[in-house]
Each structure stands twice: as C-alpha cells, then as structure tokens.
Structure 1
Amino acid sequence: MFVYKINVLQELKGNIRVFCRVRPLLSNESGAVSYPNNGENIGRGVELMHNTQSYSFAFDKVFDHSASQEDVFTEISQLVQSALDGYKVCIFAYGQTGSGKTHTMMGNPEFNDQKGLIPRSLEQIFQTSQCLMSQGWKYKMQASMLEIYNETIRDLLATSRTSIQDGAASKYNIKHDANGNTQVSDLTIVDVRSINEVSSLLKRAAQSRSVGKTQMNEESSRSHCVFTLRIFGVNEGTDQQVQGVLNLIDLAGSERLNKSGATGDRLKETQAINKSLSCLSDVIFSIAKKEEHIPFRNSKLTYLLQVTS
C-alpha cells in the first residue's frame, strides 16, 4: 500500500518533469539572474536579464545557484524509489556545454557534500533494498554503462580501450522484447551487490568517456553517457515480483556551431549531438501531448530509452 501511494503521488506530480538548476555566473559572463519572490512561480520561476532585455521562464522546480547537491537529490529521490518499486525511470541532465551537467550527475564521489545524483541514487537504492530484507524482499541488481558517440554505441565497461572505441565494428544492436525490456547485444552487464562495486564501475567508465576541447569548454563531454541499473525483486513471503529500471543520463552539451569553433571531427560531433538532442526533444513533446506516434527511432538515444509497455 505504501509503494502504491508513493507512485500515485509521483504520477500526480507528472510523469515528465523539468527542473532547472542555475549555476553561478562566470567572470567572463554578462547578464543577471533573479527569482520571483511572489506569485504562483515562487520556487518555479527564473528571470534572466541580457542586453536590457528580460526573459522569464517557469519549470516544475528551480534550484538557484546556492542549491547543494543534496538539495537537488532530495527533489528526485522519490523517483529513484519508484525504480525500486518496479517502475522504469529516466533522469536526464540537459544543457549547454559547460553548464554543470556532469557536476550535477556525478559530482565528486570522494566527498559526501559533492556527490552527484548518480552516486546518491545508488546509495539510496542499496540502503533501501537492505532495509526491505526484513519484509521478505530479496533483490538482484545489474549495472551497465555506455556512451552514444556520433550515433555509435560504445561500451564503457568493456575490458579494453580498443573494445570501447571499436563500437562501430562491434555493432551493438538495440532490441526491445514483448514485455517492454530493452537489450543491447554484446554490452557488458555486471551483477552488483554493493555501492562500492558500483563506485568502482563508475570510475572505470569515467576514464573511458569521450571528451574534447571546444571554444565553449576546455573539456566538453562529446557523448551521451547512459548508466542503467536493472532491479529484480521478489518477496519470498507473498511471491510478489518487481522489475524496475533506473536510467541516469549525462547528456552531451548542446552548442551553437557558430560559437563552438568546431571543425573536422569536432564539427561532426557537434552536429550529431545537436541532432540527437533535437530528437529527444521531439520524443518528450510527443509523450507530453500523448500523441499516437512517438518518434523513438529517430536517434540511438531515444530508441535505447524507448518504453514499449
């Protein structure tokens, strides 16, 4: 009953939610950011001033530049719980290159106050699953981590650098079965039993991710990084079974071609990034409008994350 109420509450809040996190302005940036202090947009609105022009935006929740990593995680923690309850959950970090997406998603796991959403989510999953053992629940968890670079899947947990970079030759194929489960052929899937095991995998994957320098960012993520935790639970007393999926995605940063200074391979990367982000936007809008056709197949990212049931 408790699980049911939690997920009804999440659905009432909205199956698609957009949060905005504002980072501090850098020394070379101009403009001003303010937040409504009255009216219906308190805690939901942000106002930008640029070249004497004012722009107002509203979201489901706004975190100002003083918000901590813990503040952000507290807002999404019940969504993480939903994955443990047997639901499919996707959490994206989206924004321009250099906007702080990787900081929000990963942070610095070595320091408690700097941990991002991914390590905090995993800690919650393992802690809660341990507590539920007293109620007869047993869980099995499997982790994978991949990047989508230039519309090619690369396995970030492959045992060798050559295998990671040779994604095109390996031809990882995305498949959806009749039950709505997604499989990627030949992808490394690791059984995980503790947060320490997952932390080791995250470090390994981070060292393999594609990054590059552009005029907008010294070390820009040039790929979409997808961490997936599959959760299988069974209650030995009631025979109840659950199967949830938690996808935590650090998207590549969007860039305007005329500002990025991209040429050659960097230009190709930027074009692929912007196209796939556009496809993701199309899918989200189609789902929000409850359209009959959802264009999942228009990019590897959206096809990978397609919900078929």
Structure 2
Amino acid sequence: MLEFFSNKLDTLHCHQTSMLQELKIAREEIGKVQEMLAASQENKQEMTEEDEIFETKGTAAQQQTPNCNDSEKPLEGANARLEGLKESLSQREKEITELLETEKTPMPPVPAPPCSVLLPAVIHKAHAVCGAVAESRDYLDRLIEDNQAALAAAREKLENLNNEEEVSTDRSDTSESRLSFLHETVKDFEVHKIALDCIKSGESPVMNDCEALDLEDILGQGTDGVKSIGQQLLLLQDQLKQEKEEKRKIVENYTLERTLRKKYYNMVEDMKGKIRVFCRLRPMNRNEAGQGGTAFVEKIDDYSVSVETPRGLREFQFDKVFGAEASQDEVFQDTSRLIQSVIDGYNVCIFAYGQTGSGKTFTMVGDKDQRNPGIMPRSFNAIFDITRENSSKFEFKVSAYMLELYNDRLQDLFISQAAEAQAQTQPSSQTRRVEIKRTRKGVVFAQGAETKEASSAQELYALFQQACANRHIAATKMNVESSRSHLIVVIMVESRNLTNGSISTGKLSLVDLAGSERAAKTGAKDHQLKEANSINKSLSALGDVISALSADLPHVPYRNSKLTQVMQDSLGGNAKTLMIVNISPSESNLDETLTSLIYATRVKAITNNAQRNVESKEIAQLKEVIMKLKSGLTVDDGDV
C-alpha cells in the first residue's frame, strides 16, 4: 500500500516539474516582450499605452528583420507564443486534475505536510514486518541500540564544543560550522530515535504542523526521507527472503554432495572386495506404540543412521540405509546385482543379522501369506529370469540344499523331523550326518546334505516351503513366530558355455540368522532357554570372527561354532558378501540395537577375495571320468 501511494506521488511530482518548466519558459518569453516594449516607448510617446505596445513591437521587429515590411508579424508571433504557453499550462492543469480525480484524492485547500500522511502508514507497515519476521525484529533492536549510542556520543561532543565556546571569546567560521553540524546531527539522531521507537511500539507520534515540517526537512525534501525508510524495510524483507532461499539451496546442495560422496566411496570399497552392509530400520510395532515408546533411531540419509544414547547422539555409516517406510521390493533392488554374479560363477552370500524381533525373517523370507515376499523368494525368480534370458548361449543346472543349525547341530530340512526321528529309532538304518567341508579353492559345502534340482522358480519355491515347514519356530514375548534356529539356503548354479564348453559354478548362500535374545525379555524357559543359549553362543562366536577379521588378526576362530564354519567362505573368504543388519527403533531395545550396529560396522571393514569358479572343458571332462571311476562305473574311450 505504501509503495503504491509513493509511486502515485512520484507521478504528481513529475507533472508538477513539467508545469514549472513550462512556466519558466513562459516567463522568459514574457521578459523578452517587455524588453522590446521598453525600447520602443522612448520613440512612441504620443501613442496610447496599448498602441505603444503594438507599435513598439513592430518597430523592434522591423529593426531585427529589415526585409519584412509588415510591422504586425512580430507582435502576432509573440501573441501566438503566449497563447501556446497558456494552452500548454491549461492542459497540464487538466491532466493533474484528472489524475487526482482518478485516484479519488481531492486536492486539499491547504496541503498537509506529506510526512504527516505517510508517517503512520510507514510505521504501521514496519511494525507489521518486525512482528512477523524475527530477523527484522532483531535488526530493529540493533538499530535502536546503535542510534542510542550515536545520539549519546553526538550530545557529548555538542556539550564539549559548547563548553569550549563559552570559555573562548573568539568564534571562528570553523567552530560555527562544527557547532551547526553537531546540532543537525543530534537532531537527526533524535528524529531517528522517535521513528524507531514508534516502529517498535506501532504508535504514530503526535506532532503539530511545524514539527511535521521540521521532521520533513530532516528526513529530506518532500517525502523522500519517509519513503526511503519504507523502501529500506521492504528491501530488508526482500533480502531476508533471498537469504532464506539461498540457505535452502545450500542445504540441498550439501545434502546431495554428501550423499554422492558416500555413494562413490561405497562403490570404491565394493571394488576393493569389502563386504557390503545394509541397515534396515523396522517400524514401531503395536506393543511398542501401545506402551508409549518413542523411536530413538533415525535415518539421516540413504547412507547414515543416528541413535540417541544416554551419552549423546551416535551416527553410523553403511552402504545403504532403509527406513521404516522402505518396501520389500526396494530392499531387493539393491541386492539383485549379486544374483548376476552367481550366474557368472561367483560365490555370493546374503545374510540377515540382528536381535530377535527386529525383522530378519521378514526381510529374508517375507510374510506368512507371501503378499510381501522377501529376498529368498525374489532371488529364486531372479535366477530363473536370468537363465531364461541366456538360454541360447549357456546351459544351466540349478540345485539346492537347505539346512538349519539348531542347538549347534546341522539338520537337513529336506528330511522332516518325524522321518529323522523314525530313522534314529531303527537300529539297522544309517543316520545321515551333515558335515561342513571345504574345497581346495575354499568354497564351503555341506557333505551329507540332500541336494535337489529345480527347473523353475515355482519348483524351487516349493522346495523352500518344504524346508520352512520343517524349521523350528516358537512364540516368545518379543515375537509371535521366533526363529529358534539359523536357516541356511544354498543354491548352486552350474552353467556350461555352449561356445567353448567351459563350466562355471556359482553358489548363492541365503542365511536367516536367529536373533540374539535375553531371557528376561523373551520369557524363555526350559527348552526355549536352551535354544536361546545355543543361539547366543553361536552368535557370540560369529562376533569373535568378525572382530578378528576387522582387526586383521593372524588367527580367526572359525572352528568355535558350526555357524562360523558354514560362513567361513563368506566372512574373510572368496565370496561377495552382503550383510543386512535389522534394528528396532524402540527405546527398550537400545542396547541390542547398538550392539548390532557396532558389529555391522566391524563387518564393513572386512575384505574378501572373490574369485570366479570357472573350469575349462578338458578339466570338466577329467572330473567326470574320476567321478565315474570312484563310483565303479566303466569309462569309455570317448570320455577321455
């Protein structure tokens, strides 16, 4: 509103300036005509006053233009000029009148000082800005303090100068100018003090016309001073908006650069063979939300997570962080690249780690009705999708065995518990014992486990369901379906190159670890307590292996547990390994969450030496011959 009114006043000033210029030109023309009349009066005394004027103009014109015989032409030119000036002035008056009528601002008979009109509007606008914007309010307080300090200093200088003048009898021009300058300076600061106080309180000062005119003179000619204050406030508001926008852009750029830096760093570490570690934060469950628990874990960005601890905020860095809103598909998208490595002949391991009830089984397996399948079912589909795409160049064979480590004993999940118990009761039957072995290349395999082939993703998933049905699960206080064993699913993909006959063998190990638990929280008793102790013992051995590998110790205690023996080629071996640490956001699980994050950070420092398992056509044929000879079969000459 103030800026609009100021623009209209500027328009009026422009019209007034133009009118004054026209008046000045008219006065100059009239002065020239009067000079002509005075010169001709001496020669034309007998003529009447009016005749003398016209005759004098004719004589002067004849003297200047001797070739012109008509004495009336100069007089007519002057009159025409005067008439033109009058018409111009009349037109200017009409324009100003029309402008005033359009703006519905009648011209007062006695114009009030512009300062008295604009000052309340400026104060109201400035007070509103300071009330809405905290930065402007702080800036106004600083202006008031600076003005008070400057006013006090100016008054002190003026008082000192007055005292010096009283002592000294001679007053020079310099002292007079200094005294006048200090008076004006004090007056300026006093007016500024009044203006700033009014802006802060929002009330307009009460003054008479003389005071208003004095204030107007101090602030500048017309309304320039008042307008300048309003313009400064508007500029300050615009600058504040620009600074906020620049700050927002800087924060966005910083966040983007920080994310890219972490991403490229993780890519370099992955190329070096570092184990990749993902972190997944599950949402609050009903029990935690019902008890009024608060989330103390927060995802900072795609690569960082922070935890509020009694000692302060701690931040952990990982290759990828998934928040509570992340879907199963998003988690698998970042792990699907490893499936291609299996087809290419690499040893790959993906395992989930975390306390009980943190969502490991949901991440690896999915929900019960498979509306949100986990990494394992999705990996089955991905394997056969890739083999189908490359069926014209390669011949594939997919097989699998599935185990569980229950009470520190490996059990084949393709054999039901009832069948195994029945076999143990029969004295004549031989119990199949599963043992962990390693090849010369360091690849771990389960000797004695039943291996079954699958020709499609549906067939492989059916085998997986059969294995899950034989797995040990139980209900605890922290989890309705708590895994009481470590699930180990191994899928082997053998591909034969149809062009050169070479054979590559890839192994995908999918491990759903049982969660660490405390008996006080889970309420485990008797048999469940024994299971919990076995789980914690194996996880403790896994922690020792992780600590030794991250510290680069010469001895790594793989033999302390069956679990560490199974994962020997995945931790510090020749596999491409991905660990997904699952954590709870609840404050009641703070200790377990911190332990999981610390272990995951140590795993991130472990380096594997992934190698491709490829054999030439000749070596593959020789191995087939050796296998036939060991089995007692005859060998044809064509096989050699």
For the criterion TM > 0.5, the same-fold answer is: yes
Partner of 1:140: 397
Counterpart CA distance in 2 for 1:249 and 1:165 is 28
RMSD of aligned residue pairs (Cα, Å): 2.6
Query: Is the Cα–Cα contact under 8 Å of residues 155 and 164 in structure 1 kept in the other structure?
Result: no
Counterpart CA distance in 2 for 1:240 and 1:9 is 31
Corresponding position: 1:176 with 2:456 = no
Deviations 1:22-80 (A, max 9, x none): 111123322223222xxxxx311122346796443322211001111110001111112
1:227 shift after superposition = 0.4
Cα gap change, 1:215 to 1:166, in 2 (>3 Å): farther
Deviations 1:164-222 (A, max 9, x none): 7989x643222223233433233110011110111111111111110112222222100
Query: Is the Cα–Cα contact under 8 Å of residues 412 and 449 in structure 2 kept in the other structure?
Result: yes
Partner of 1:126: 384
**SS of residue in 2 equivalent to 1:128:** helix
Alignment match of 1:76 (pick from 335, 340, 344): 335
Q: Structure 1 or 2: larger helix share?
A: 2
1:273 shift after superposition = 0.6
Query: Is the Cα–Cα contact under 8 Å of residues 31 and 48 in structure 1 kept in the other structure?
Result: no
Counterpart CA distance in 2 for 1:55 and 1:166 is 53
Range with greater deviation from structure 2 (254-263 or 157-166) = 157-166
Counterpart CA distance in 1 for 2:485 and 2:509 is 16
Deviations 1:275-307 (A, max 9, x none): 111222232343444443322211111112322
Counterpart CA distance in 2 for 1:183 and 1:50 is 42
Q: Number of residue pairs matched?
A: 294
Partner of 1:114: 372
Partner of 1:39: none
Partner of 1:4: none
Query: Is the Cα–Cα contact under 8 Å of residues 253 and 273 in structure 1 kept in the other structure?
Result: yes
Counterpart mapping for 1:1-40 below 5 A: 11-12=270-271, 14-29=273-288, 30-32=293-295, 33-36=297-300
| Amino-acid identity (%) | 41
Counterpart CA distance in 2 for 1:44 and 1:107 is 24
Query: Is the Cα–Cα contact under 8 Å of residues 416 and 470 in structure 2 kept in the other structure?
Result: no
Counterpart mapping for 1:89-238 below 5 A: 89-108=348-367, 111=370, 114-134=372-392, 136-158=393-415, 161-163=418-420, 170-238=432-500
**SS of residue in 2 equivalent to 1:217:** coil
Cα gap change, 1:11 to 1:291, in 2 (>3 Å): farther
Alignment match of 1:48 (pick from 307, 315, 318): 307
Unaligned runs of 5+ in 1: 1-7, 37-41
Corresponding position: 1:87 with 2:351 = no
Alignment TM-score, normalising by the size of structure 2: 0.43
Q: Structure 1 or 2: larger strand share?
A: 1
Cα gap change, 1:129 to 1:10, in 2 (>3 Å): farther
**SS of residue in 1 equivalent to 2:391:** helix
Cα gap change, 1:301 to 1:271, in 2 (>3 Å): same
Corresponding position: 1:254 with 2:516 = yes
1 or 2 for the larger relative contact order (CA 8 Å, sep ≥6)? 1
Counterpart CA distance in 2 for 1:139 and 1:287 is 35
Counterpart CA distance in 2 for 1:147 and 1:255 is 18
